[in-house]
Amino acid sequence: MSTTSNTGSTSASGETTLPWDPVVEELGFPKDPDNLYLQTVMTMLKAAEVIELRHRVKIILAQPKNEIMVHFPVQMDDGHHRLFKGYRVQHNNALGPYKGGIRYHHDVHLDDVKSLALLMTMKCSLVRIPFGGGKGGVKVDARSLSPSELMRVTRRFTAAIANDIGPDHDIPAPDVGTNAQMMAWMADTYQSIAGIGGRANDAMRVVTGKPVEIGGSLGREKATGQGVVDVCKEMLPEIGIPISGMRVSILGFGNVGGWAARIFQDLGAKVVAVMDHTGALRNDEGIDCNALADHVRDTGGIAGFENNETLTGSGTRSGHGATAISDEEFYKTPVDLFVPAALEQMIQEKQSEWLNCKVVAEAANAPTTPPGDRVLASRGIEVIPAILANAGGVTVSYFEWVQNKSNVTWDAEQVDRELNRHMVMAARRTNLARQRYNCDLRTAAYIAALEHIGKVYAVRGIFP
């Protein structure tokens, strides 16, 4: 339970948080300090305060432009119909079309989707791509559906929001629980029903993260993980951590965590601990991340990897040398870098106390709660914030959209080179803001994003 007053609040853990921003008062948000949307808005407003962002821009950014909620029926394989709930939140389009993923998760709520949409606005602005922020989701456990049920849910959801999305208006992409195949179904459904006549093929631009066969970009699947690594390569050596030989632990071994792990490993880092929803593993010699990725593809999680038998020069080795550990042991494993690549709000005070690392690179969106953040700061642990660390996915989404719009295809080297350029520039922008305002990296990243949006509003003005 949380208690609130006009001047501050007490979170579930009993810690007193910062006073509420006047914008939170003005817009009448319910003051629950554990609410993800309130946490995200407060973080944004803290940075806005530092740069004295105009009041009108603050109130615009504190709420999304549109919140779309739909219910749609889908026939299951056994013949009965089930009603699903879906969301699309369009946070801001001052910089360009709304942009952001579609999440399939049994615990999707409007406030989560609003938070993630706000983060997309910040991310796109920070890396300077001409997109705004949006996010969507369907309340469903994708793992519980058959492939044909998944296809019908995806097509029916696309139909339900077809009037609200569009190749130059709002462009979905994959997120937690969705992948390139689902983007193919979304693009195909939209193209079939959106009725844009002779420009039918152009309608496929309505989503990014598509399979390469239908206009997806090379390098999009690994892009978020690659972006995490690019930012770390730019920032870690400066704080005395060379990538080669560094020890890493990773929370989450899905698309983002799995790719980041393999790319770090290729650069000579040792991934010594991994945890996901099925279990946790440790190997001080370094987990074989390629073998682990194969295991996750085949079984759906990391559990059981420790029992895999492999043939080595000197005989068989169980689990490639990895052993199963507890959650607590996972967090306490000594590493240079900890990479949360799972869901929001997983790094709370307890986990922050447990962590034995020098730097946290947030590969997931909003993995650290504000109280968790304060514990990390008090322990001198540096946090590379999500809007910087995980912006690689949407950056390559932008490249995909540009390739589709201009009917060209880039080779993998061009994608990697351009991605690296965007990530390095965003990291430098963040470092500069930090030096200028003498603040933490999270506030600095928001400042670098908000300054750009503030300038755009200053020249555009506000209608009428």
Instruction: Round to whole Å and give the CA distance between 459 and 455.
Output: 6
CB 443 within 8 A of CB 374: no
Least Å distance, CB 364 to ligand GLU, is 9
Under the binding rule (CB under 6 A), the answer on residue 415 touching ligand GLU is no
Under the binding rule (CB under 6 A), the answer on residue 101 touching ligand GLU is yes
Please choose, out of 22-30, 82-90, 240-248, 393-401, the segment that lies near ligand GLU by the rule CB under 6 A.
Answer: 393-401
Under the binding rule (CB under 6 A), the answer on residue 205 touching ligand GLU is no
Q: How far is CA 104 from the centre of its chain?
A: 14
Instruction: Round to whole Å and give the CA distance between 421 and 392.
Output: 11
Tokens of 455: 């300038």
Residue closest to 322 by CA, chosen among 284, 358, 276: 284
Rg from Cα positions in the chain: 22
Q: Please give the residue whose beta carbon sits closest to ligand GLU in the complex.
A: 101
Compose the 119-158 pattern: x for residues touching ligand GLU by CB under 6 A, - for all others: ----------------------------------------
Tokens of 292: 């682990």
**Cα three-residue angle 437-442-444, rounded to 5 degrees:** 25
Compose the 335-374 pattern: x for residues touching ligand GLU by CB under 6 A, - for all others: ------------------------------x---------
The residue annotated as part of the active site, out of 58, 135, 210, 358, is 135
Compose the 157-176 pattern: x for residues touching ligand GLU by CB under 6 A, - for all others: ----------------x-x-
Tokens of 113: 């989707």
Least Å distance, CB 173 to ligand GLU, is 3
332 is annotated as an active-site residue: no
Least Å distance, CB 393 to ligand GLU, is 4
Question: Is the Cβ of residue 25 or residue 107 nearer to ligand GLU in the bound state?
Answer: 107
**Identity of residue 344:** E
Looking at residues 295 to 324 of the shown chain, list those that interact with ligand GLU (rule: CB under 6 A).
none
Tokens of 123: 């991310």
| CA atoms within a 13 Å half-sphere pointing along the CA-CB vector of 398 | 25
Please choose, out of 33-41, 52-60, 147-155, 391-399, the segment that lies near ligand GLU by the rule CB under 6 A.
Answer: 391-399
Under the binding rule (CB under 6 A), the answer on residue 208 touching ligand GLU is yes
**Identity of residue 65:** K
CB 255 within 8 A of CB 224: yes
Question: Is the Cβ of residue 333 or residue 365 nearer to ligand GLU in the bound state?
Answer: 365
> Out of 100, 137, 370, 385, which residue is the one contacting ligand GLU (CB under 6 A)?
100
Under the binding rule (CB under 6 A), the answer on residue 393 touching ligand GLU is yes
Please choose, out of 16-24, 84-92, 95-103, 151-159, the segment that lies near ligand GLU by the rule CB under 6 A.
Answer: 95-103
Contacts of 73 (CB under 8 A, 6+ apart): 81, 82, 83, 84, 156
Least Å distance, CB 365 to ligand GLU, is 6
In order of 124, 220, 311, 430, 434, the CA distances from 441 in angstroms are 17, 26, 45, 7, 6
Tokens of 208: 């990014």
Residue corresponding to tokens 């555009």: 460
Least Å distance, CB 134 to ligand GLU, is 8
**Identity of residue 377:** A
Hey, which residues does 75 pair with through a beta bridge?
A: 81
Instruction: Round to whole Å and give the CA distance between 280 and 285.
Output: 16
> CA dihedral defined by 353, 357, 358, 362, rounded to 10 degrees?
-90
Least Å distance, CB 412 to ligand GLU, is 18
Looking at residues 174 to 193 of the shown chain, list those that interact with ligand GLU (rule: CB under 6 A).
175
Under the binding rule (CB under 6 A), the answer on residue 217 touching ligand GLU is no
Under the binding rule (CB under 6 A), the answer on residue 227 touching ligand GLU is no
Question: Is the Cβ of residue 103 or residue 152 nearer to ligand GLU in the bound state?
Answer: 103
Binding site for ligand GLU (CB under 6 A): 99-101, 173, 175, 208-209, 365, 390, 393-394, 397
User: Could you list the active site residues?
Assistant: 135
